């Protein structure tokens, strides 16, 4: 059996295990939280939080921390077995167990720093405004835009070391590609992706003046200049085709629609579970359940839109580089290195994949390139 065939079999098994583990963990988490609400444990936790302080926001913090600890205990075996152990079994992770704990803890602290103001604001609106979801939707949208702008400068460096790319030839080719299509960029940076994983990736990050190109060192070391240029031609396609603006537009309206639906369902469920006020601490986990289920149900719609954008960006890359062989080798090498299933089942791709399968992308690009050559 060839290395390529063996790798494809490993990819199928790896992604199948990850998918089953993720779905199982999600179902168990929903079942646990629902059971806590049904059997009155969330009311006991709310009473526990109220015993320490009369301040409603501190009560919220204690209550949320208690729920977080309980769900973390459930999630830990999944994170360890299907996260840390599985990644090492398939040779994808460079982290030690202690290193993975440090990274997760760092992520937790950053998440709390960024998330707590939004959580407190959410609770303030929930307790004081009938149409809390309208105001919250506006603020969340604006907050996400601000985070997108500051992330490359203040957040990403907390997890990786960034430095200007040292390969001048590669840098000049990327900048020339940006200039060719009239795309202004703040810089080209390499980051030490290899400290955590053997997977390869690259992307545009930031908005406005903070917009920059970031390249994982695993991509730089394992791919040719032509292949890396193809990757960025694809990413440029997302900008030139207006996908970023479209996604912001879609996110804006989907946020409002989602919050409206969540609010309506929540208000109807409150009396069913014995609650009289929407801001009762013990009732808040219902919001988590509704949001989780709704997100799962509508995920195919978002995935479908994303896959459409990926095809469009692929065609832009072919238009820009006129280099289908490099596109094909890039896709195949990324699938090989990242252990991606290049031909998942139709249902799995439809429901969970934001990118088309590698086989479909290569075939579509080849047909498009052939049509261009004939013209």
Residue-wise pLDDT for 314-337, tens only, equals 999 999 999 999 999 999 999 999
CA geometry: angle 165, 183, 191, nearest 5 deg: 25
Dihedral through CA 16, CA 111, CA 115, CA 284, nearest 10? 50
257 and 198 fall within a common domain = no
Structural domain contains residue 335? no
Last residue of a domain, one of 275, 296, 317: 296
Closest CA to 106 of 156, 159, 60, 143: 159
- The pLDDT assigned to 373 comes to 79
Q: Which residues pair with 212 in a beta bridge?
A: 205
Question: 238-266 burial by CB neighbour count: b if 16+ within 10 A, else e?
Answer: bbbeebbeebeeebbeebbebbeebbebb
Tokens 């580089």 belong to residue: 321
Closest CA to 305 of 243, 366, 262: 243
The terminus-to-terminus CA distance of the chain in angstroms comes to 41
Provide the CB-side half-sphere exposure for 367 (13 A, CA).
6
Domain residues for the domain of 220 are: 162-237
CA geometry: angle 78, 81, 85, nearest 5 deg: 145
| Residue-level pLDDT, tens digit, the chain, 375 residues | 456 778 889 999 999 999 999 999 999 999 999 999 999 999 999 999 999 899 999 999 999 999 999 999 989 999 999 889 999 999 999 999 999 999 999 999 999 999 999 999 999 999 989 899 999 999 998 999 899 888 888 999 999 999 988 889 988 888 888 888 888 877 888 999 999 999 988 888 887 788 888 889 999 998 999 999 999 899 889 888 988 889 888 988 899 999 999 999 999 999 999 999 999 999 999 999 999 999 999 999 999 999 999 999 999 999 999 999 999 999 999 999 999 988 899 999 999 999 999 999 999 999 999 988 776
* pTM score: 0.88
- The pLDDT assigned to 2 comes to 57
Question: How big is the chain by its Cα radius of gyration, in Å?
Answer: 23
Q: Report CA 337 to chain centroid distance, whole Å.
A: 20
Contact 355, 201 (CB under 8 A): no
- Using DSSP's 3-state secondary structure scheme, residue 56 falls into helix
Q: Please name the residues in contact with 243: beta carbons below 8 A apart, sequence gap of 6 or more.
A: 237, 309, 312, 313
Q: Please name the residues in contact with 343: beta carbons below 8 A apart, sequence gap of 6 or more.
A: 357, 358, 359
Contact 102, 110 (CB under 8 A): no
Residue ranges of alpha helices (H) inside the chain are 3-38, 41-50, 56-79, 86-89, 97-128, 132-150, 168-180, 217-222, 225-240, 243-269, 284-321, 324-338, 346-352, 358-374
Structural domain contains residue 356? no
101 and 29 fall within a common domain = yes
262 and 182 fall within a common domain = no
83 and 143 fall within a common domain = yes
Contact 139, 121 (CB under 8 A): yes
CA geometry: angle 296, 297, 303, nearest 5 deg: 75
Neighbouring CB atoms inside 10 A of 108's CB total: 13
22 and 75 fall within a common domain = yes
198 and 111 fall within a common domain = no
Structural domain contains residue 309? no
36 and 181 fall within a common domain = no
141 and 263 fall within a common domain = yes
232 and 250 fall within a common domain = no
- The pLDDT assigned to 186 comes to 75
Structural domain contains residue 318? no
**Rounded to whole angstroms, how far apart are CA atoms 369 and 375?**
10
Structural domain contains residue 190? yes
Q: Measuring CA to CA, how many Å separate 29 from each of 22, 33, 166, 188?
A: 11, 6, 46, 41
Q: Are strands 202-205 and 212-216 parallel, antiparallel or unpaired?
A: antiparallel
167 and 130 fall within a common domain = no
CA geometry: angle 210, 215, 217, nearest 5 deg: 140
Structural domain contains residue 367? no
**In total, how many domains does the chain have?**
2
Q: For 164, phi and psi rounded to 5 degrees?
A: -55, 140
Q: What is the CATH number of the domain that holds 194?
A: 3.30.2010.10
- The pLDDT assigned to 162 comes to 92
94 and 209 fall within a common domain = no
248 and 260 fall within a common domain = yes
- The pLDDT assigned to 132 comes to 93
Structural domain contains residue 45? yes
Structural domain contains residue 222? yes
């Amino acid at each position: 059996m060839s290395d390529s065939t063996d790798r494809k079999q490993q990819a199928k098994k790896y992604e199948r295990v990850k998918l089953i583990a993720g779905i199982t963990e999600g179902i168990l988490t929903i079942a646990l939280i629902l059971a806590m609400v049904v059997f009155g444990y969330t009311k006991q936790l709310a009473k526990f939080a109220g015993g320490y302080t009369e301040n409603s926001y501190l009560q919220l913090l204690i209550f949320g921390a208690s729920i977080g600890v309980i769900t973390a205990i459930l999630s830990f075996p999944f994170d360890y077995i299907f996260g840390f152990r599985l990644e090492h079994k398939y040779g994808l992770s460079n982290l030690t167990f202690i290193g993975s704990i440090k990274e997760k803890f760092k992520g937790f602290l950053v998440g709390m720093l960024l998330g707590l103001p939004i959580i407190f604001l959410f609770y303030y609106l929930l307790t004081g405004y009938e149409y809390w979801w309208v105001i919250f939707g506006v603020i969340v949208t604006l907050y996400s835009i601000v985070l997108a702008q500051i992330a490359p400068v203040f957040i990403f460096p907390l997890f990786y070391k960034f430095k200007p790319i040292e390969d001048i030839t590669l840098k000049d080719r990327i900048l020339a590609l940006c200039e060719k299509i009239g795309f202004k960029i703040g810089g080209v940076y390499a980051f030490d992706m290899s400290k955590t994983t053997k997977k390869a990736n690259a992307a545009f990050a930031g908005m406005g003046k903070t917009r920059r190109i970031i390249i994982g060192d695993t991509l730089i070391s394992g791919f040719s200049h032509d292949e890396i240029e193809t990757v960025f031609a694809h990413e440029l396609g997302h900008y030139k085709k207006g996908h970023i603006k479209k996604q912001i537009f879609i996110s804006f309206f989907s946020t409002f629609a989602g919050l409206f639906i969540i609010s309506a369902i929540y208000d109807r469920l409150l009396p069913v579970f014995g609650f009289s006020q929407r801001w009762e601490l013990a009732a808040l986990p219902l919001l988590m359940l509704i949001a989780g289920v709704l997100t799962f149900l509508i995920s195919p719609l978002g995935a479908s839109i994303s896959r459409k954008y990926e095809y469009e960006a692929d065609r832009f890359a072919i238009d820009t580089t006129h280099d289908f062989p490099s596109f094909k080798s890039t896709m195949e090498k990324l699938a090989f290195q990242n252990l991606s299933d290049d031909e998942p089942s139709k249902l799995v791709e439809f429901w969970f994949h934001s990118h088309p399968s590698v086989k479909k992308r290569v075939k579509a690009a080849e047909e498009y390139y052939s049509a261009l050559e004939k013209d």
